[in-house]
Amino acid sequence: MRSNPIRGPLNAFGLRALDGVFDRTLGTQKRRLFADLPNEVVELGSGPGTNMRYLTPGTRLTAVEPNPAMHASLLASAEGHGIELTLVPHGAEDIPLGDASTDAVICTLVLCTVPDPSAALSEVHRILRPGGRFVFIEHVAADPRTHPSLARTQRVLRRPWRWTFEGCELHRDTAALITSAGFSSTEIHGGTASPAVLPVAPMVWGHAIR
Domain range holding 106?
7-209
Q: Is 70 exceeded by the pLDDT of residue 55?
A: yes
Is residue 198 included in any domain, yes or no?
A: yes
Where would I find the H helices in the chain? 7-17, 19-33, 71-81, 117-127, 148-164, 174-179
List Cα–Cα distances, 131 to 24, 43, 80, 105, in angstroms. 31, 17, 31, 12
Is residue 1 included in any domain, yes or no?
A: no
Tell me the CATH number at 201.
3.40.50.150
Determine the average pLDDT of the residues in 141-151. 92
* CB hemisphere CA count around 55 (13 angstroms): 31
Q: How many structural domains does the chain have?
A: 1
Is residue 22 included in any domain, yes or no?
A: yes
Determine the average pLDDT of the residues in 152-175. 93
Mean pLDDT (the chain) is: 93
- What whole-number distance in Å separates Cα of residue 196 and Cα of residue 124? 29
Residue 195: predicted pLDDT: 59
Residue 130 CB burial class (10 angstroms; 0-12, 13-18, ≥19): exposed
Is residue 201 included in any domain, yes or no?
A: yes
Is residue 133 included in any domain, yes or no?
A: yes
| Strands 60-64 and 185-192, sheet pairing | unpaired
Nearest to 22 by CA among 48, 55, 56, 60: 48
Is residue 2 included in any domain, yes or no?
A: no
pTM of this structure = 0.92
Determine the average pLDDT of the residues in 50-66. 97
